Amino acid sequence: TIFSLAYAVVDSKNDASWKWFFEQFKEAYGERPSMYVVSDRNESILKATSIVYPARSYTLDEFNERMLKIEEVDPCVKSYLYDIGYHRWTRVHAMVNRTFTMTSNIAESLNVVTKEARELPIYDLLEYMRMLLERWTKEKLLKAKGTFTYLGYKFNKELDENNTLSQKLRVRASTDHLHTVLDGVKQYIMCLETKKCSCGKFQLDELPCAHALAALRHRKETYENYCSPYYTRKSLLLTYEMPVNPLPDESKWDVPQHILDEVVKPPAGDKRQSGRPHKERYKIFDEIKSKKYKVSCENCGGEGHNKRTCKNAPKKK
């Protein structure tokens, strides 16, 4: 789900513009606990966030075990993932709790929606963004109003799946809050007081895992007090209760005099390069390399070239 906090119009996506954007964002929004920036690993974003916001599998054992399996298949893959930085793509190494957000798809989807609008004049672009957010806010509010469970749809579905898994578990209580949960030959230590489980899911998802639900059922207690308040229907309603107001006709605008007196000059900069401007973001090598569709040759049937450049013998019919 996309909830827009801020957007800006800049000359280009470079180090200076991203730094300026995050500085303005920090001034307006502040620096809050558990903040995380999800991006497409754009170098300018990485530089800007490291300046404006200097940095301060579920368990480490599981992570190390799976990395060993990856290394057995291809050591180069492990090296590549290490170079990216484990804290950028794993939950167990993340510096803050990322809950269920692990990809940059949410950012990419916004890029796709606004792709054509970015060619519009500045006023039309801003009005397009306003109408887009107006529509999204209304849709999300209606969806929240149509939810009749304690949690939002996505989180309630996750909880139901955990509840199904919890049915086969056995529980042995040590204290009122500390429990040992038996799952076949494995056992997990679960503390309801600290909302932590040795499986790691309870504290990272901020939603009762199967072991926590088994312990709660053993205590004849419900789950509501053990979920993040951000997952609740009430929070969703509060999030979208403030509408994106429609814009009145230009004749009704109340524009401050100092804005009317301001002279807007055309952007200064180098002469624009010849050819059509590049609309899509530049993809990194690995994205290009992993492209689904490959060129194939009608002459020999091979990949990576076409019939015109083929130097192989024709395939047998």
Domain range list for the chain? 118-245
Q: How many CA atoms lie within 13 A of 145 on its CB side?
A: 8
Pick 240 or 55 by higher pLDDT: 240
List pLDDT tens digits, range 203-247. 888 899 999 999 999 999 999 999 999 899 999 899 898 888 888
pLDDT score, position 145: 92
Q: Does residue 149 carry a pLDDT above 80?
A: yes
Angstrom distance (rounded) from CA 16 to CA 40: 18
Angstrom distance (rounded) from CA 153 to CA 46: 33
**113-134: b or e for each residue (b if 16 or more CB lie within 10 Å)?**
eeeeeeeeeeeeeeebbeebbe
% pLDDT > 70, the chain:
76
How confident is the prediction for the chain on average, in pLDDT?
A: 80
Pick 224 or 271 by higher pLDDT: 224
pLDDT score, position 276: 66
pLDDT score, position 180: 95
pLDDT score, position 265: 78
List pLDDT tens digits, range 80-120. 766 766 665 566 556 556 565 555 556 667 778 888 888 88
Confidence of residue 266 (pLDDT cuts 50, 70, 90): confident
pLDDT score, position 285: 45
List pLDDT tens digits, range 160-198. 999 999 999 999 999 989 999 999 889 999 999 999 999
Which among 150, 156, 187 has a CA at the least distance from the CA of 170?
A: 187
* Mean local confidence (pLDDT), 279-308: 63
How far apart, in Å, are the Cα atoms of 276 and each of 118, 175, 187, 272? 14, 69, 62, 10
pLDDT score, position 269: 60
Pick 19 or 73 by higher pLDDT: 19
pLDDT score, position 90: 64
3-class DSSP state for residue 151? strand
Angstrom distance (rounded) from CA 220 to CA 102: 34
pLDDT score, position 105: 59
